[in-house]
């Protein structure tokens, strides 16, 4: 069963979303893509999809392919300049995939289907002893443009570096925006490299969002909250944004109303027999919680498409469950999965596999089921996971209500 409202590749492998942009009422989404593989291949390219509503996606032609000096087209972002859009992407070479370069691309058609590569605009600073350098994130500032890029130093510091430009062609290195040692583990460990570092104002509070990498192991998404000024970020608190083993590489964007939002890559969701691997989460809204955390909630655009339903609908269309668990209660999700609440912890168990947990801070727990994709929202915390398609839902303790997707059914 293929998810209905989570984006999957037509065939092959999909990972990081990026450069999500609203243009003339249409959402453009780009993503890492390997058409003929069920596992990651460094020779990624940029897939492209469009949607009027962040749920119904139309796949467009591949936007940028390897070649012309690029052995792989890795993560980047898009700037909507006055004279047209510009993509900044990570160009990698097989000699050292970890150390990318930043290259420009511009569209040759109004549909953004075809892009032509231009010059390399930035490479790793020579005065830093780096083991990794990739994933530019560009944003406009009052006097021009700025991008941030993830880096990891040989002595164990995760870093975000920054560059400035007035024209998106000539870029000047402007130093280290933020860094944190891998030896710092409280209140959360943030790894040896920040992949996909992004900076965003959420309800008047600046956040840095990154993905935690160490020795080619991908962990989870983390954040820092603090003060941003002139290319420098000083964190006053750190936290974990995602839970479970699935979410990684979130991409921040502003929705059609200008609200800070994001989408994750969801690992492990796949159907090898049907020839696809990986999907993207539904859109989330970023929020600053009352207790001083950065959190995500289900995007209102998704919620609006759910109406009257019951748990049994999960076998034929996406379902949104609202569960108010009492201590010790269990939510059964088909025969192969269950969600338990014990005190201040929610634990997802999938058969005999290792449990996946997230905090429980009270209130309703929302569970989005979409075929083999599961997303759990609870007081700003979020957990993503693959799940065996659910043919029935049961509950032991607590109150459960359900709504069902009104936009179609599984084929």
Burial of residue 66, with CB atoms counted within 10 A of its CB: 0-12 exposed, 13-18 middle, 19 or more buried: middle
**What are the angstrom distances between the C-alpha of 231 and each of 141, 226, 250, 315?**
10, 13, 21, 49
Question: Model confidence over 151-204: pLDDT tens digits?
Answer: 999 999 999 999 999 999 999 999 999 999 999 999 999 999 999 999 999 999
Bridge partner residues of 401 (DSSP): 322
Question: Model confidence over 4-38: pLDDT tens digits?
Answer: 999 999 999 999 999 999 999 999 999 999 999 99
Fold of 12-290: Tachylectin-2; Chain A (2.115.10)
Distance CA 351, CA 329 (A): 18
Q: What are the residue ranges of CATH 2.60.120.560 in the chain?
A: 305-405
* Residue 142, pLDDT score: 86
- Contact status, residue 96 vs residue 124, Cβ threshold 8 Å: no
Q: Six-digit token pair at 174?
A: 């402007």
Q: Give pTM, 2 decimals.
A: 0.97
To which residue do tokens 């600073």 refer? 125
Pairing of strands 12-23, 276-280: parallel
* Residue 351, pLDDT score: 87
Please choose, from the candidates 35, 40, 46, 39, the residue with its C-alpha nearest in 3D space to the C-alpha of residue 70.
46
The yes-or-no verdict on residue 295 having pLDDT over 90 is: yes
Question: Model confidence over 101-156: pLDDT tens digits?
Answer: 999 999 999 999 999 999 999 999 999 999 999 999 999 998 899 999 999 999 99
Q: What are the residue ranges of CATH 2.115.10.20 in the chain?
A: 12-290
Distance CA 207, CA 198 (A): 8
Question: Model confidence over 54-107: pLDDT tens digits?
Answer: 999 999 999 999 999 999 999 999 999 999 999 999 999 999 999 999 999 999
Please choose, from the candidates 405, 402, 374, the residue with its C-alpha nearest in 3D space to the C-alpha of residue 388.
374
Fold of 305-405: Jelly Rolls (2.60.120)
Specify the 3-state DSSP secondary structure of 312: helix
């Amino acid at each position: 069963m293929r998810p209905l409202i989570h984006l999957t590749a037509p065939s092959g492998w999909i990972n990081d979303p990026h450069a999500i942009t609203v243009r003339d009422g249409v959402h453009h989404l780009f993503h890492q893509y390997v058409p003929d593989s069920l596992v990651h291949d460094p020779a990624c390219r940029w897939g492209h999809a469009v949607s009027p509503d962040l749920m119904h996606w139309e796949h467009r032609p591949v936007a940028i392919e390897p070649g012309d000096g690029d052995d792989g087209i890795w993560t980047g972002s898009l700037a909507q300049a006055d004279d047209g859009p510009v993509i900044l992407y990570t160009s990698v070479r097989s000699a050292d995939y970890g150390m990318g370069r930043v290259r420009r691309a511009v569209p040759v058609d109004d549909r953004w289907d075809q892009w032509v590569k231009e010059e390399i605009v930035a490479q790793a600073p020579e005065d830093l002893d780096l083991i990794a350098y990739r994933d530019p994130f560009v944003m406009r500032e009052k006097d021009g443009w700025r991008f941030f890029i993830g880096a990891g130093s040989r002595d164990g510091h995760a870093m975000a570096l920054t560059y400035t430009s007035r024209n998106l062609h000539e870029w000047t290195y402007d130093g280290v925006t933020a860094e944190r040692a891998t030896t710092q583990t409280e209140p959360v460990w943030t790894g040896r490299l920040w992949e996909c570092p992004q900076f965003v104002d959420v309800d008047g509070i600046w956040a840095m969002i990154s993905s935690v990498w160490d020795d080619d192991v991908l962990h989870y998404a983390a954040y820092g909250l603090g003060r941003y000024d002139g290319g420098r970020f000083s964190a006053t608190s750190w936290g974990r944004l995602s839970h479970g083993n699935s979410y990684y590489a979130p991409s921040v964007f502003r929705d059609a109303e200008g609200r800070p939002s994001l989408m994750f890559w969801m690992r492990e969701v796949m159907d090898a027999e049907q020839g696809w691997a990986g999907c993207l989460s539904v859109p989330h809204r970023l929020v600053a919680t009352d207790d001083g955390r950065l959190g995500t909630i289900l995007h209102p655009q998704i919620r609006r498409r759910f109406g009257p339903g019951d748990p049994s609908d999960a076998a034929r269309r996406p379902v949104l469950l609202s569960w108010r668990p009492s201590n010790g209660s269990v939510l059964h999700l088909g025969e192969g999965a269950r969600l338990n609440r014990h005190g201040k912890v929610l634990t997802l168990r999938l058969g005999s596999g290792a449990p996946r947990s997230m905090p429980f801070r009270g209130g309703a727990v929302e569970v989005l089921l979409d075929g083999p994709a599961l997303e759990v929202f609870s007081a700003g915390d979020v957990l993503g996971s693959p799940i065996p398609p659910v043919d029935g839902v049961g509950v032991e303790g607590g109150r459960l209500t359900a709504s069902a997707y009104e936009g179609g059914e599984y084929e």
